[in-house]
Structures are given as C-alpha cells and as structure tokens.
C-alpha cells in the first residue's frame, strides 16, 4: 500500500464537535418530553442530514418535529461555542502541516452541509488550512456509500486506491472501504465494532498516531 493523498472527515475527527452535538441533542429531546436513544443517535453519526432525519423518524415517528429540534440544537451549540470555543482534535494541526510540508494533497469530505462545514472550520480557526472541501450538499448518497470519497479523490486527481481516509465513524470507514481506499479509524465517541475493525487498515488512538502510519505509507 502507498499513500499519495489524504481525505479527512470533519466532525469528531478534525474538530471536537461530537460531544457538543450529543449534549445539545439530549437537551432538545428533554425539552420535547422525549428520551434520546443513544443507540439510535450513534447510528446517525457520520450520516447526511436526510439520512439523519429518516433514521430518527423511523424510530420516533413521522410526527417528530426534527427540523425545529435541530434548529434549536444548533442555537444551543453555537451559544456553547461562543462561550467556550471549538477546539481541534489532538494532532489536527500537526498532521495537516506534515501533509503541506511534504506536498501530499489532502481534502475534507464531510457529510455535513456546506454552511455547517464552513462555520465549524471557521469556529475552530482552521478554515484557511483547506483548499479542497467536499460536503454533503454535493452528493446524492451519503456514507456508507463511497460517493463523497470518490468525488474528493477526483477533485484531487488521485487514484482512490492510494488515498488514505481518516474517519471516526463506522459509516465513514465503510464508505472508504467501498471506495477502494485505505481507511484509518480514529474513534471518537463510539468504539469500533467488529465490522469497523475488519474494514480499517489501522485503528489509531489519535491523529498523532495516524500521522506516523501515513508517513510509513508515504515512503513505502
């Protein structure tokens, strides 16, 4: 295996948004007199917004006011970030710097929509580090379908089989594997299950560890 490009997920991988998202979803479900089912919530991590809505409505019913709940959740999350900031994940700046210094092309491929991606990167003060960003609004099928990663590889002009994908979610690892890429799993809130572990080339504890793996693949 050889690495000639790197594709990043965003939420829970580059920026530390997942815990904020989890807490604020719990808040809005409580306001509706409902209990957020963690098993259902963890299923939607890494999915596009239409898939997110579909999974929640299939569990809670079609009458669930998920759009208005999401709007309130975003408001609460933004209020939290204004007070406390949005940190990057450990090793995020270092790995991007390594790729830049070694002329290894890279991109973001996030299931989140354009507005959300731009906002999160700006809040974390890393927007200027990324020239190529693919978001959920640009695709028809979300992860675990490989469409978003294949689009990113096409924009980078790199063969998918020499692309490393860094992901924190099961759907992301499934999508990278289906694209014929080299998936590296860096778990955030959800530990890898048997399927995720079997599909991942490596499971790393952090982006620091992933950088060492990429370095080895780049010189192999």
Residues catalogued as catalytic: 9, 11
3-state secondary structure (DSSP) of residue 19: helix
Tokens of 71: 């709007």
- Which of 97, 83, 91, 86 lies closest to 128, judged by CA? 97
CA distance 87 to 165: 21
- Which of 52, 65, 64, 149 lies closest to 106, judged by CA? 149
Q: What Rg do the C-alpha atoms of the chain give, in angstroms?
A: 17
E-assigned strand segments in the chain: 5-8, 106-109, 133-134, 163-167, 182-185, 202-203
104 contacts 5 by C-beta, under 8 angstroms: yes
CA distance 108 to 102: 18
């Amino acid at each position: 295996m050889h690495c000639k490009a790197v594709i990043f997920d965003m939420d829970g991988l580059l920026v530390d948004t997942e815990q904020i998202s989890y807490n604020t979803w719990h808040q809005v479900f409580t306001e509706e007199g409902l209990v957020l089912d963690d098993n259902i919530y963890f299923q939607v991590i890494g999915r596009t917004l239409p898939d997110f809505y579909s999974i929640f409505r299939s569990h809670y019913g079609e009458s669930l006011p998920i759009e208005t709940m999401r709007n309130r959740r975003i408001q609460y999350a933004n209020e939290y970030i204004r007070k406390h900031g949005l940190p990057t994940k450990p090793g995020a700046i270092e790995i991007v710097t390594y790729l830049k210094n070694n002329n290894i092309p890279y991109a973001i491929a996030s299931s989140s929509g354009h507005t959300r991606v731009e906002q999160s990167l700006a809040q974390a003060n890393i927007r200027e580090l990324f020239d190529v960003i693919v978001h959920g609004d640009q695709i028809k099928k979300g992860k675990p379908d490989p469409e978003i990663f294949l689009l990113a590889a096409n924009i980078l002009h790199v063969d998918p089989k020499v692309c490393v994908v860094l992901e924190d979610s099961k759907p992301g690892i499934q999508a990278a594997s289906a694209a014929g890429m080299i998936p590296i799993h860096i778990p955030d809130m959800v530990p890898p299950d048997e399927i995720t572990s079997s599909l991942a080339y490596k499971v790393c504890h952090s982006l620091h560890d992933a950088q060492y793996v990429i370095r080895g693949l780049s010189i192999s």
